[in-house]
Amino acid sequence: MAVIGRATTATALSTGCVTLYRPPGIVLSPLRTDFEMLNRLVSPFNSIVGQEPESIAGALNELRGFLMPRLEEQGLPMSGDFNQSHCLISNIGSPYSCSINPRYSENGRLDLSERKTIALLGFLGLRGFDPDLAASIFKSAVGRRGIRAYWTQIPEIRERYDVSPSEVAARSDHSPVEEHIGRSIKELDEEIIGIPPIFGLSQYQKKMGHLERDTGKRIFEVVTPLSLPGHRLQTALERVAAREGCRLLKGLTAIDMEFSGNHASSVTVRSRSREQRITFSKMILASGNLVSGGLVTNVDEPDQIVPPLQADTGRMPSTLSVSDTSLGSQALRSAMTTGIRTDADFHVVCKKGEVLDNVFVAGSALSGFSLPTGVGLGGVMFTSWIAAENAMEEG
Amino acid sequence: MPKTEVLIVGGGVTGAGIARDLALRGTSVMLLEKEDFSTGATGRSHGMLHSGGRYAVKDPESAMDCAREGVILKRIASYCIEDTGGLFIGIEDDDPTYVDRFLRGCAETGVQAKEITTKEALSLEPRLSSRVSSSVEVLDASIDPFALTLGNVEDARDCGAEILNYRVVQRFLVQEGRIQEVIFENLRNGSRESVRPEVVVNASGAWVDNVASLAGLRIPMSIDKGTLVVFNGRLVNRLINRLRMPSDGDIIVPSHSASIVGTTSDRVDSVEDFVVDRSDVDLLISEGQSMVPDLRHARAIRAYAGVRPLLGGRKEGRDISRTYRVIDHEEEGIDNLVSIVGGKLTTYRLMAEKTSDLIMCKLGSAGHCITASEPISNPMAAKTVRDLLAFPLIRMNRKYGDEQTDIIAGCTSSLRGKEILCTCEEVLRGEAEYFCSREDVMRLSDVMRRTRIGMGYCQAGLCIFDMASVMMEHSNQEPLDLIGHYLRERWKGVEPVLFGSQLRQEVFKRYLYDGVYHLESLLGGEAR
């Protein structure tokens, strides 16, 4: 078993929140689990996977059961608001993370409906998080008053400006940065404190735990784009894969696939220095879409990067309430929903129409499975799980 | 009720130029602009300082004006002009007799032009098509229309003029053949205000007829829409014009970090018709390619359309003269209304001079025009900076002229001031802070016009949140409202160029906006 990767993944650029259902808009109250809602939440998967809600529920539960302990072992504990009696919904965000968008705050740890006071603390010179802006968005989106914003300075970035969170993370692993942050937090009156993400995977759990213990407050990370939580999730997932016995080959681009009839035998990959051919018995293409580089733009429309395959434009999950206005125009909409063409079992379809019985497509490489269309990490992981199961079953 | 000697309606470069001209002559001036400065034809132009060459054959009067004014502007507004020089090139299929007519026209109108060999042209501009058959060097230059307008605004203010944006003129109270009072709305707070002017100047560009109608008059205008496409990076060193009768897609202007290709000419009925058609974009790209084949691979980052206010009602777009006219409405029964119509960015100063001359007559005041010799901003200060300091400061000088001193002070006085907000255009937080703290700025696009923040190839993909965060410190507006308004405006220019790399960029932006920030839900589905 080997995984081939090219460069930074969309997962690493994401908020790192895995949501195994799609909440209808912003939900801040604890989840209600009536059946009508369950059907609505599961149906995006249902309509695409073509399976009954019960089996989807089972698969979701299996995926959760697989991921959570393994990620935790790698230092990335995932928490969530589960309802075991139905097992359909699991919202596993990391316990210390939430977004400047309140939608991500609902992870069981940070209940904004509590009458607790919240403060957001920004670090001068650190890119990507402005507590004033975040507090203001919180206020207008949640209608909750009294979220205050503060600024502090930490020694790691005192003499500089424009520091990226990963730079701080690189240094914070070897310095007492959390002591300084802890002192700043203690000076605040509020009970829940949001800070920008600055700890890498290896220190994340330990240092966030220290902060909570030392200050006696609840600390959470305000997830910002292109920052650490996505990186942490990516790293943790790679480690899980390695631990399960998978080889990780990075820096390789798949440029061609060899097949005859309905069966593919090998893929040609290119690194910076050479090309090589990798033979396989089964392959899953999880190469992402336009955002992550699995698709390229071919003048007017997206195209598949591996030549013999077909691009599939414009399959929109039917149940997602994506209005016309929000996705701009037909060109953007079809670019965003484009993926690799498959049959109902996720088998890949070639340009001339052959269905390859040993090549499967998963994740956002599937048409319609893109973050902007409302399918997040949970959705794409779920398809991977199904595709992998299909691959295993077909012996 | 406040009084002013002269009330100017319209804050494009013409209005701002008139304000500066009159203020320098010691006249009391108020200017009202319905949006931000240079949001009409001024800001939607090529940013081309004409040598006159483009009009040498067809429109000699405009050519002569451009030739003279080009020289003057390079002297008085050097901070916002990049003196790139220009090249007119003929392609194999073009009319071969045009070169001689062109050179003759240039000689007759005082436009400096020198024919060079194709080999010389290709050494100056390596990206030119190998099908170039004739080349003429001229003195065209690239000018920043936003910086030019703001320079005039600030200079006029320094001389005591009151220059106000986001003020919409609603009514003229006309009595005894005079506009006695002008009533306008302040968009910042919705209040109605009024002023008693001695003379009113209608310098509202494409809206000149609308403003005249407030006094019961009509000015027959032809509204001509021109579409332009902005490409990432500089594809050419100097302005490139096609050596033929002016037509579609025959100008390429290197401007800041981009190249602007234009233009089309379509008659439209409404002055608000800024919608860009994809067919116009395709036309510009295919025509532009015949001059610079690399355009096919270049990255189009946005398209925009401007409405040119052209004199006269019957002729079609390109056949209408680009000259201007100062209209005294006394004969039509309004003693104290003057309109300025037509013209070009390059001749704005001359138009302002002629308009101001008439106004001084009406006021019965003495006072001569000094704008042909008095530089906008202090070139000495600019020279010192250029000699002494590094690239970012030269860049700031080009954007801001004299104002740069205060802006640099703001950027360096605090840690946050030095943060780079916009990496495409290298805009520092201090620059945005400086303008956000000022009365003129109400929307994020106002900051953009002043600093170039968000004008790069990502079209504010990431810096939009930083812009909002800076703006919040100086405004009570909801950041989501600011962001939503800005995104809707930008989208108009991005939608027509959704192909190639820019399509991918936009998909990535949607990943951030909808997938990560969930702006879609926060903005109530109105992000786009």
pLDDT for B222-253, tens place per residue?
888 999 999 999 999 999 999 998 889 999 99
For B477-523, how does the pLDDT look when each residue is reduced to its tens digit (9 = 90+)? Answer: 888 888 888 988 888 888 888 888 888 888 888 887 776 666 666 66
pLDDT at A161 over 90: no
Domain end point (choices A232, A260, A281): A232
DSSP string, B2-42: -EEEEEEE--SHHHHHHHHHHHHTT--EEEE-SSSTT-STT
Residue A395: predicted pLDDT: 59
Complex ipTM: 0.82
Residue A52 one-letter amino acid: E
Nearest CA in chain B to A22: B515
List domains and CATH numbers for chain B.
3-41+146-220+322-363 (3.50.50.60), 50-57+77-142+224-304 (3.30.9.10), 414-522 (no CATH)
In a domain, A256, yes or no: yes
Residue A89: predicted pLDDT: 42
pLDDT at B368 over 60: yes
Both A193 and A60 in one domain: the answer is yes
Domain end point (choices A198, A232, A266): A232
Residue B448 one-letter amino acid: M
The pLDDT of B263-267, averaged and rounded, is 87
Task: Report phi then psi at A387, rounded to 5.
Answer: -60, -40
Q: What tokens does A252 get?
A: 């390789």
In a domain, A6, yes or no: no
Both A67 and A165 in one domain: the answer is yes
Report the candidate in B211, B170, B193 with the shortest Cα–Cα distance to residue B15.
B211
* ∠ Cα A31 A37 A38 (to 5°): 90
Residues 409-448 of B with CB under 8 A from A: 415-416, 418-420
Both A218 and A258 in one domain: the answer is no
In a domain, A380, yes or no: yes
A305 confidence band (pLDDT: 50, 70, 90): low
pLDDT at B282 over 80: yes
Both A224 and A280 in one domain: the answer is no
Quick check: A161 and B518 CB within 8 A?
no
Residue B71: predicted pLDDT: 95
In a domain, A346, yes or no: yes
In a domain, A240, yes or no: no
Longest CA–CA span in chain A (Å) reads 69
Both A298 and A213 in one domain: the answer is no
The pLDDT of B251-276, averaged and rounded, is 88
Report how far residue A133's alpha carbon sits from residue A137's, in angstroms, rounded to the nearest whole number: 6
Quick check: B504 and A290 CB within 8 A?
yes
B158: CB partners within 8 A, 6+ apart: none
B526: CB partners within 8 A, 6+ apart: A325, A326, B484, B488
CA atoms within 13 A on the CB side of A34: 2
Both A175 and A64 in one domain: the answer is yes
Residues of B in contact with A137 (CB under 8 A): 479-480, 522
Count of H-run helices and E-run strands, chain B? 17, 22
- E strand intervals along chain A: 2-4, 18-19, 91-92, 97-99, 118-123, 147-152, 192-195, 218-223, 247-249, 253-260, 263-270, 275-279, 283-285, 295-298, 301-304, 311-312, 339-340, 347-349, 355-361
For A77-112, how does the pLDDT look when each residue is reduced to its tens digit (9 = 90+)? Answer: 776 544 433 334 444 555 566 554 444 444 444 555
In a domain, A246, yes or no: no
Provide the CATH number for the domain around residue A298: 3.50.50.60
Residues of B in contact with A372 (CB under 8 A): 507, 510-511, 513-515
Residue B56: predicted pLDDT: 93
Both A228 and A257 in one domain: the answer is no
Q: CB A10: neighbour CB atoms within 10 A?
A: 24
Selected residue of A291, A300, A322, A369 to mutate for chain B interface (largest B Cβ count, 10 A) = A291
Residue B318: predicted pLDDT: 64
Distance from CA of A260 to the nearest CA of B (A): 32
Which has the higher per-residue pLDDT, A68 or B180? B180
Residues 148-167 of A with CB under 8 A from B: 153, 161-162
Quick check: A15 and B468 CB within 8 A?
no
Both A55 and A86 in one domain: the answer is yes
Q: How many domains does chain A have?
A: 2
Report how far residue B268's alpha carbon sits from residue B317's, in angstroms, rounded to the nearest whole number: 10
CB B320 within 8 A of CB B246: no
Quick check: A328 and B510 CB within 8 A?
yes
Both A227 and A343 in one domain: the answer is no
Q: Is the CB of residue A323 less than 8 Å away from at least one CB of chain B?
A: yes
Domain end point (choices A201, A232, A263): A232
Closest Cβ opposite residue A336 in set B465, B480, B507: B507
In a domain, A122, yes or no: yes
pLDDT at B369 over 70: yes
A256: CB partners within 8 A, 6+ apart: A267, A268, A306, A307, A308
Both A207 and A266 in one domain: the answer is no
Distance from CA of A102 to the nearest CA of B (A): 9
pLDDT at B111 over 70: yes
Q: Which domain holds residue A292?
A: 252-393
CB A317 within 8 A of CB A47: yes
Nearest CA in chain A to B502: A297
In a domain, A134, yes or no: yes
Q: CB A393: neighbour CB atoms within 10 A?
A: 8
Omega before B384 within 30 of 0, i.e. cis? no
Report how far residue B375's alpha carbon sits from residue B78's, in angstroms, rounded to the nearest whole number: 8
Both A75 and A223 in one domain: the answer is yes
Both A74 and A200 in one domain: the answer is yes
Residue B55: predicted pLDDT: 92
